Every structure is written in structure tokens, then in C-alpha cells.
Amino acid sequence: MRHLPSILLLLGSLPWAVAPATAQDTAKPTPHPIQLRVLAEVVPENLGQVYFVSGKTKTPAFDLPVNNVSDPILVHSRELQLNLVTKDLPLCKLVLPDAGSSFIVILCPTKPSGYRAEIIRADDPSFKRGDVFFLNRTEKIILGKLGSKRLVMPAASSAISRPQGATNGAYYDIAFAARDPSGDKLLSTVRWPVDEQIRSYVFFIQDANGRVTYRAVDEFIGAPPPASPRN
């Protein structure tokens, strides 16, 4: 694991319940199942389990994870709705891209209620082992030093990057800062070990007082299968 500061988000009482709705019955099923893995930025206390629905087709209920990417969830439509089990209320609607059959769905809370889905194509060849998906959910520019590589993220943006220039081939020197009118505010300096068996997801979040914090979640990928021998 890459050891980054974790965040304690004090949500208080959020009005998560919204008016009932149903995913479109006209959504066309896909000929082959689509694999979703879910990661929530934060989950309100006592939210309960959720499920995806398209038309009359529902997935098994599951808990929203915040510290790891969920196990694969199979769906058969690219137009989906995330519902709360206890009251059968919708939390989020999402439309998957036409290309791809495996996706990471990152759920970010919205005001006044529910989630917004950030969808990443997990089977995109350009999203590789060792890559990091950065999500800047703040109103500030985020600056990063990923080993010898620089990162500049405008407010409310996302990016995929990867560290470079490992020290002794063993670790990267990492630093993050938030740009402020009074000067750049250092968030953290840390060392990330070189690990080509994971992809990571890093969230930058701003609280009601304007303070920026961040946390990271790693996804184990594993080594690719050996190539088949040629005759």
C-alpha cells in the first residue's frame, strides 16, 4: 500500500433521500455482461446497502466501499441507476461509455443529496499498472511532484498520470500542494514504493473552511498472464 494521509470527513446530517425514480425500461441490454467495480469517496453513516438497476433487472445488493475497489458487479445495460435498498430510493444515474466492458465507478457526493459518478474504463490499454487516477474535487489548483514528474490539476478536474524517476529504483519522492492567493500550501511529502502491481486513485477534497486534504486507494492488478507459446 502507498501510505498517504487518510481523511476524516464529518458529513453531519445529509438529506440523501430523494424522490423515487426508475431506470429507463427502454435501455437496451448488452449481448455480453459488463463488469463494474465501485469506489465511493465517502459513505454517510447508516446508508445501508445499494444495488444497480436497469429496467426490471437488478444486481445483488452490496455495501459501498471507501477503502478499496469493490468486487466485480455484472450488469447488462449501459444505462443504470444506483438505488438504496432500504427505501428503494435512487442515489445516482449513470451512462457507461460505448467502448469497453470493464469500468471503475467512482461515486462522489453531490448537493443536496445523492452521488455523481466518475466513470473510468478499466480495460483501457492506456490505464496501466503503476498509473494513478487523480480527482481534484476542490476549488483550487493542485500541484504535484511525482518523483521527477510534475502534475498541475485545475479545479474540479481529473487526470491519469504516473510517477517517474524512482530513487535507487525503489521509491518515488512525492509532494502535493494547493495553490492559494496567499501562496502555495504544502499538503504532504511522502515516499511511494515502486509497485507495478497496482493502480491507485487519489482524491483531493476541500472542507467547508477551505482546507484541502487528500487520500488514496490502491487497486491490485497482478501480473499479466504469460503469452501463449507460438508453434
Digit-coded pLDDT (tens) for 60-97: 999 999 999 999 999 999 999 999 999 888 999 999 99
Q: What angle do CA 142, 146, 150 make, to 5 degrees?
A: 60
The percentage of residues in the chain with a pLDDT greater than 90, rounded to a whole number, is 75
Instruction: Write down the pLDDT at residue 131.
Output: 97
The predicted model gives 52-58 an average pLDDT of: 95
Same domain? 169 vs 97: no
pTM confidence score: 0.83
Is residue 41 predicted with pLDDT exceeding 90? yes
19 assigned to some structural domain? no
Q: Which of 55, 41, 31, 56 is nearest to 11 (CA)?
A: 41
Residue 48 sits in a domain of what CATH number?
2.60.40
Under the banding of pLDDT at 50, 70 and 90, the label for residue 20 is very low
- Is 149:132 a contact under the CB 8 Å cutoff? no
What is the C-alpha separation between 114 and 82, in angstroms, rounded? 10
161 assigned to some structural domain? yes
Q: What is the pLDDT of residues 142-189, one digit of tens each?
A: 999 999 999 999 999 999 999 999 999 999 999 999 999 889 999 999
Range of the domain at 142: 132-220
Length of the chain: 231
**Number of domains comprising the chain:** 2
Q: Which of 119, 130, 108 is nearest to 34 (CA)?
A: 119
Instruction: Write down the pLDDT at residue 222.
Output: 72
Same domain? 190 vs 216: yes
13 assigned to some structural domain? no
Same domain? 216 vs 138: yes
Handedness of CA 88, 92, 93, 99 (dihedral sign): negative
Of 121, 140, 167, which residue constitutes the final position of a domain?
A: 121
Same domain? 75 vs 145: no
Residue matched to cell numbers 514504493 = 193
Of 87, 121, 155, which residue constitutes the final position of a domain?
A: 121
